[in-house]
Structure 1
Amino acid sequence: MTSSRFFRIALVLGLLSAIGPFAIDMYLPALPEIGSSLDAAIGPVQMSLTVFFLALGVGQLLYGPVSDMVGRKPPLYFGLGLFALASIGCALATDIQILIALRFVQGLGAAAGMAIPRAVVRDLHTGNDAARLMSLLMLVFSVSPILAPLAGSAVIALTGWRGVFWAVSIAAVIGLATIAWVLKETRPAAERVESSLGSALRAYGVLLRDTHYLGLVFIGAFAMAGFFTYLANSSFVMIDHYGLSPTMYSVAFGVNAAAFFGAAQLNGMLCERFGIVRVVKTSVSACGLVMTAMFLYYLGGGDALAVLIALYFIASALMGFVIPTTSVLALEQHGAIAGTASALLGTLQMLTGAVVMTVVGFFTDGRPLPMVAGMAGGALIAVVLAWITLGGRRATRYAAG
């Protein structure tokens, strides 16, 4: 595959993957305003974010097997169409309960853009080439957490929080046009012959019995859970506790996101030189140490914003080495059911993030310590799982792929 075509595919898949997260990241600066506008407390406002994650996870269980049965493009059409309609409904919501319900539907639609692009990567490549394509996809995907909060702040300043949902509905329509005109089908009809509802259920059974696959999935899941905890709490901490404006909060958020996606671009080179397994184990261990240091700082009474931003910048960069590579390793041995394997991976990771966000939410008080505790806890669990999952002969065999 030529470099230009390689990047073009990454561009398309990255943009499709970013549409759902765009609906999260543009939304973050609006959380305090939504609470005021709809007369809702922090808990219900955060629930509108949590249910999106839940739907984003559960929905992938459907889209993955369907994409194995009917091809990658039809479920993308359906998902982005549903997302666009739900986004319009969110823009018109009059109370927090309606907004929460519509955010769930919106998440179900966005799930298509999360599960299927990973399957397309596996359709096209394995090993280091897959890691390189996944990292390029992540580079395009990075437009969401870097630019979306800033775009959200601008939209909110001009139109209020409802404008965010009109903006993401337009993004979904652009995504539909991209699928129709640019994306080629990567699941030929000949490869769908053996795919059915029964085969999908059997595939899920195979995956749920594959402890190596599950270990890799949950390494990424708990690494991401810390990020999800940051998503749910950072606007309240930085805007209400530290006094940042929504725009300055968006800049701080974007800096950390840039660290993640910038580091991810080194994955191809590092994996070729040191091996994927060594990259994962070293990076996740270093991330655990950094997050532990942050937790101890706040537990000891520290309260400097600069410490939070600096240490999480380092941790975000390290997660950029972990999350794309664990996805590649998890899908490596399941090419025949790549859509189903990608769906289960996405579902388990989103549900793990939603559970951690919910647990941390019980302790949220607008101060940094509960958020940092959840972030550090997720990182340390990922460290333990990495050394269990990637410590034996089987891990060495996977690394050679």
Structure 2
Amino acid sequence: MNNRLPPRWLVVGLMMFPQIVETIYSPALTHIASQFRVSDGQASQTLSVYFLAFAVGVVCWGRLCDLIGRRPAMLAGLLTYGFGTLLALLATQFETLLAARVILAFGAAVGSVVTQTMLRDSYQGSELARVFSVMGVALSISPVLGLVSGGLLAEQFGYLGVFSGLMVLAVVLGLIASWRLPETRPETTTRIALWPLACRMVRDGGLWRSALLVALFNTMLFGYYSLAPFLFAGLGLSASEFGYSGAVLAVATLLGSLLNKHLLGKGRQSLSLIRLAASLALGAGVAVWASQGSLWFLLPMMGVVVAFGIAIPNVLSQALLAYREVAGSAGALFGLAYYLLLSLGLAMAALVQDLGLLLAGCGVLAVLCSGRRST
């Protein structure tokens, strides 16, 4: 086994990969609704289906990375994602497109759980929190890459252009990972049965609160990707103009990540930063609800994204400290919990079709949840 640290740039790319896959798709939602003759709500439901399959993928790849190794699991997941993207390109029925989204989401999940597991293999303690924070800074460009490129592709070539871009991404990532990705699985990795581990984690109240917080902050972010295309269309703006909003959100994510890194360096504890982020998200969400009749809603939306950049690295770095000996399997089950919750949140978003209401509701729950965390 090779315990070399994976190249930082490759880890960044693989961690950005699932988010780019989703954000590049968002500008095509209006095209999909038109092309397949489905409602806005049905088109938005492709996001909740995506995350439901993503949750199952997290369990599969997380478990496999303990059993067969991090590198083989990553390569198999990328191959599965590529197959799903090819099927989406060939789809002529909405049901086929949904099936393709399920397959590619299942494969794309490998970029989340296996990458996080490799980081937990390689770093510990406060160093791990700082690494997640640095990853957050790097991830701030993914909405730009996703939304801007997705907007341009959708504007010029429709949804087929978007899925062609996703296919290119699958090929490039697969080739680079085959060439440069090392194995990081520790010799001390324990191969325990999944069911006893699941029972242990189900009884962990703090872990459930962490899963709910991750789901809530992601629901706020991906709720924007799900609902904002229709807000922009209602304001008479194009898919490419919606795509450019990714630059605004990227600045906010960068600010949140840099602020989080600064506050950690000043000695602020992760739990206090999570509470700060929850309060900020609530206030900004209410402001979005009050202003979403105009493009000015992007300003408070930036506050929501700043909160995301603060909260997520701290929740993820603290969540599995008691499960290091089974990091892959524990990460898989933890991911299953929060992605199932995220899928539920996005299903609710598709039903209510009101971004401000969604953000405010998630903010209230995040404040309540962070306030109940033990000190």
Assess same fold via TM > 0.5. Answer: yes
1:327 Cα deviation after fit: 0.6
CA RMSD of aligned residues (A): 1.9
- TM-superposed CA distance for 1:325, in Å, is 0.7
8 Å CA contact retained: 2:133, 2:261? yes
The C-alpha deviation readout for 1:98-125, integer Å capped at 9, x for no partner, is 1011101111111111111111111111
Counterpart contact for 1:47–1:100, Cα < 8 Å: no
Among 298, 309, 317, the residue aligned to 1:328: 317
- Quote the Cα distance in structure 1 between the aligned partners of 2:288 and 2:168: 39
Partner amino acid, structure 2, of 1:283: A
Are the counterparts in 2 of residues 220 and 382 from structure 1 also a CA contact under 8 Å? no
Tell me the residue number matched to 1:205. 199
1:215 matched to which residue of 2? 209
Instruction: Extract unaligned runs of 5+ from structure 1.
Output: 365-369, 396-401
**Aligned equivalent of 1:376:** 360
Amino acid at match of 2:355: M
1:292-318 Cα offsets, whole Å, 9 max, x none, are 3433x25xxx72321x10111012112
State the identity as a percent: 24
Q: Separation in 1 of the partners of 2:222 and 2:20?
A: 14
How many Å separate the matches in 1 of 2:250 and 2:337? 22
Alpha-carbon distance between aligned partners in 2 of 1:181 and 1:266, rounded to the nearest angstrom: 35
Task: State whether residues 68 and 187 of structure 1, in contact with CA within 8 Å, keep that contact through their aligned partners in structure 2.
Answer: yes
CA–CA separation in structure 2 for the residues paired with 1:33 and 1:315: 27
1:16-75 residue CA offsets vs partner (Å, 9 max, x unmatched) = 122222221111111111121122221221222221111111211121122112211111
1:141 positional shift: 2.9
TM-score by length of 2: 0.93
Query: Unmatched 5+ residue regions in structure 2?
Result: none
Name which of 336, 343, 367 aligns with 1:347.
336
Using the TM superposition, give the Cα deviation of residue 174 of structure 1 relative to its aligned residue in structure 2, in angstroms: 1.6
Q: Secondary structure at the match of 1:243?
A: coil
Partner of 1:195: 191
The alignment covers a number of residue pairs equal to 371
Q: Is the 8 Å Cα contact of residues 57 and 348 (structure 1) preserved in structure 2?
A: yes
Letter in structure 2 aligned against 1:303: G
Q: Distance in 1 between matches of 2:324 and 2:283?
A: 34
**What are the residue-to-residue correspondences of 1:1-400 with 2, within 5 Å?**
9-188=7-186, 190-192=187-189, 194-196=190-192, 198=193, 200-238=194-232, 240-272=233-265, 273-295=267-289, 297=290, 303-306=293-296, 308-364=297-353, 370-390=354-374, 395=375
Distance 1:10 1:259 in 2: 23
TM-score, normalised with respect to structure 1: 0.87
Q: Work out whether residues 147 and 245 of structure 2, in 8 Å CA contact, stay in contact via their aligned partners in 1.
A: no
AA at the equivalent of 2:218: M
The answer to whether the Cα contact below 8 Å between 1:55 and 1:105 also exists between their aligned partners in 2 is yes
8 Å contact 2:27–2:242 — kept in the other structure?
Answer: yes
